[in-house]
Chain A
Amino acid sequence: MTTRHVDVAVIGGGLVGAAIAFGLRAPGKRLAVLDEGDVAWRASRGNFGLIWVQGKGQGLPAYGTWTQRSARAWPALAEALRKNTGVDVALQQRGGLHVCLSAEELDARAAKMSALLAQPGFERYAIEVLDRAGVVARLPGVGPNVVGGTWSELDGDCNPLRLLRALHAAIAAAGGEIITGAAIDVIEPRAHGFVLRSARGIVECETLVLAAGLGNARVAPMVGLVAPVVPNKGHIIVTERVAPFLSMPLETIRQTDEGTVMIGDSQQARGFDDTLELPVLAVLADRAAQVFPQLRGVRVNRTWAALRVMSPDGFPIYAQSTRHPGAFLATCHSGVTLAAAHAYHLAPAIAAGTLPPEFLPFAAERFDVRAAA
């Protein structure tokens, strides 16, 4: 059995774990990322790629702040990745639209955004409510059923698969090891660190980060933490490459830098089941064709359903174990948007050894859940 001795071990090589590991790189610091096998739930492969601010934080103003901090730090992340690995993650932050297909939808959306911005303590930014003319001015080709939408200049997108690839490459370039096929069997806390056992051997570390997505629920109690996360299924449609026609992301339709068009999004509580549901695909396809009728004849090359990592209120959980202070937990369902915050704000806090008070709103205690004995 191989035994590795590292300073920091990150359980989970998806966008959350990889961004944190990226932020933890330092000369002389030994880093290991433990990842599962090829066929696993893998929320990070099901990502849409939005870097999205508008609409976030209803019920938790701190999340609105956290999201905006991440959006502001994103250009630095993209540049660092490009410099480090040569991979261009195609960051674009020139604003984004949420489009509505009925007066009812538009009214509900406008009300929601008002309520969001009116929350005490919410870090405000501009969300413009657009009527049809307003949307048409930004997107001349939209279909007749589009009645309006909301716009924020803080929104954007990137290439999420390339982001993951770049993060992994940067970790490796810094001497970090990404161990695949290493689903954790058990974590044994020790006096000054942890022993992790998996099919790929033993890893001993001083600092431990749990970023295992849905797997966090199982491993968190091993270090005195709780991660009440459950699956939330989302469907995506991806078309063939088409000539560029959409240069700004909509919350549910975006054209990638490769030219393919991605269409989302749906949310269902189905447990650990990523079976494709054709009725959902049909609704997504129909709405996309209403927004852009010129997409009607475009070929769909692939679709998928993936499981978001959903906490009870939908907001991230960031926690540090009181019983074993070297263990940290991070989970969210916006791994792309929050990648910069994870790399540049969360990782340094982990490296410093303590989560500062700004993370308290994200602690698991907010669910009134007791830590496992």
Chain B
Amino acid sequence: MSPPGRSKGEYRSAQREGDSFSPQREGVHPTTSTDVAIVGAGPAGLAAATRCREFGLDVTLFDEQPTPGGQIYRGITRSPLQDPAVLGQDYWDGAPLVRAFAASGAGYVNDATVWSVVAADGGVTLGVAAGAPAARTAHMVDARAVILCTGAIERPFPIPGWTLPGVMTVGGAQILLKTAGVVPQGRTVLAGCGPLLWLLAWQYLRAGVAIEAILETTPRGRMAQALWHAPDFARSPYFAKGRELVRTVRRNVRLVEYVSAVAIGGEVAARNVRYSVDEREHTLAADCVLLHQGVVPDVNLAQATGCSLAWNDLQACFAPAIDSWGSTDVAGMYIAGDGGGIAGALAAAPRGRLAALAVANALGRISHATRDPIARHDRAELATALRGRAFLDTLYRPTDAFRLPSGTTIVCRCEEVDAQTVIALARQGCAGPNQMKAYVRCGMGPCQGRFCGLTVNALIAREQQRDPAEVGYYRLRFPVKPVTLTEIAAAPTTAEAVKSVVRL
């Protein structure tokens, strides 16, 4: 029984009757120029686009997904889970952001991969590949300013067996739940730390999914350290909800705390999980293992455009160097949301709005006098959202055991480079992640270092006793997501470029 109007092989980005999302301007590609280009339709991008529209700027939002919401509000316009009780009210809090965006008159291009962003001549040019696989279009978009809202990705979790079928990130499992109503069957184990782990466990309970155990990897004594920041956390919007959520999960799910090591066993798929607590090893049979130890900014696009990266030691990750408005050291380029540094879902929208203010001011739409009072409201909202950040970051900073793999544990999933290879070369004095990449290919695969860069940095830092900030990160280039040769060939050429290649 096929939906009417769809031909075989035609992929529709899913806008159909019953979908709650109807933007006023959709699919305006091939857009070739706009005032403000925004990359990413999560809360930061949606809020930034909406705010820019309030100042009369022409705005186009590009997003990789078929529908808006980013990851935190993934599938919010068409989740098959009609019962809001399963996903929790916080999820549905994203709906007003989407509605406001839809009503704002901003342009929206879905199924769009922004693979390059080049600042030049007082403006910015984006390389965009959009549409379904069989009908891709590639075009360039000129903008006066761009706001990157590419968000966060799961922190690597390099343990033995983490590449096996049956192993998935907690975020990935949550996306499956939200967008398809698909859940694990069989024996399911959650491992790691961080709020998302508890949230998914709670959502699974509400959905009736059985969980064998949660292997919580926060070490002994860490809570005492984190408690220094507890008063601030107690005033945060997360505190009350978080406490209730954790209590519910603790009452209903077997919790193993202070887990100091985790290894997943199995030949072609996950079969069991071995874990250690207080130097005693235990084994659990498992068919599905879900991993999470926080999220980190997706820095690839920012870095490839030329933005500097800064090391955040508390969060143990790199983030683009930005100011309090989201401005970067590249003209015309702004960053908002978790892509500019992990601050959580509730901080994303005010950060997007602040970046929009900065852009509107930079493009001459509003004066400082207009900008600043509005900004005060956004900053107040942001400050509230940031309460508790230090507590969470301190509590949930992964231990070395979970950031520094050894032996045959895979470091680079794409190129299948293991830890002992990286460690041996680090010991021989490899100069840094880029030389490591040249030696053994880690970071050369399609994920472009997203799942190995931090691990390689950490291993070199430890072996050579260097500061992670000084060890540095991979040098990233366009395309920041793999696109086809045809899509690159579609970028505009110049006579000079032709001459540089065709040298008769």
Contacts and interface: CB of A to CB of B under 8 A. Distances in A.
A and B touch in the complex (CB under 8 A): yes
Given A278-B491, A301-B445, A301-B448, A104 B482 contact: no
A180 interface: yes
Given A283-B497, A295-B485, A299-B482, A105 B432 contact: no
Nearest to A297: B484
Given A280-B501, A286-B493, A38 B432 contact: yes
Interface residues of A, number: 52
A267 B488 contact: no
A279 interface: yes
Interface in A302-325: 302-305
Q: Is the interface of A mostly helix, strand, loop or mixed?
A: mixed
Interface in B448-504: 448, 471-472, 475, 477-479, 482-486, 488-494, 496-498, 500-504
Contacts of B50: none
Interface in B417-463: 428-435, 438-441, 444-446, 448
Nearest to B482: A299
B470 to A, nearest CB: 10
Interface in A336-373: none
A302 B448 contact: yes
A304 B486 contact: no
A103 to B, nearest CB: 12
Most buried by A among B430, B435, B491: B435
Contacts of B429: 178-180
Contacts of A300: 479, 482-485, 488
A138 B500 CA distance: 28
B484 A278 contact: no
Contacts of B431: 35-38, 180-181
Contact of A285 (B439, B471, B485): B485
Most buried by A among B116, B430, B485, B490: B485
A266 B433 contact: no
A178 B448 CA distance: 28
A38 B433 contact: yes
B488 A281 contact: yes
A90 interface: no
A289 B482 contact: no
Nearest to A45: B438
B284 interface: no
Contacts of A266: 497, 500-501
Contacts of A303: 477-479, 488
A281 to B, nearest CB: 5
Contacts of A105: 502, 504
Given A37-B432, A108-B504, A279 B497 contact: yes
A282 B482 contact: no
Contacts of A267: 500, 503
Most buried by B among A276, A281, A286: A281
Contacts of A276: 477-478
Interface in A161-182: 161, 164-165, 172, 178-181
B199 interface: no
Given A288-B485, A299-B446, A302-B444, A39 B475 contact: yes
15 contacts: A36-B431, A37-B432, A39-B432, A161-B438, A178-B429, A267-B503, A268-B496, A281-B478, A281-B488, A285-B486, A296-B485, A296-B486, A299-B483, A301-B445, A305-B477
Interface of B: 116, 118, 127, 428-435, 438-441, 444-446, 448, 471-472, 475, 477-479, 482-486, 488-494, 496-498, 500-504
Given A279-B493, A288-B485, 7 more contacts: A165-B440, A179-B429, A239-B485, A282-B491, A298-B485, A300-B482, A304-B477
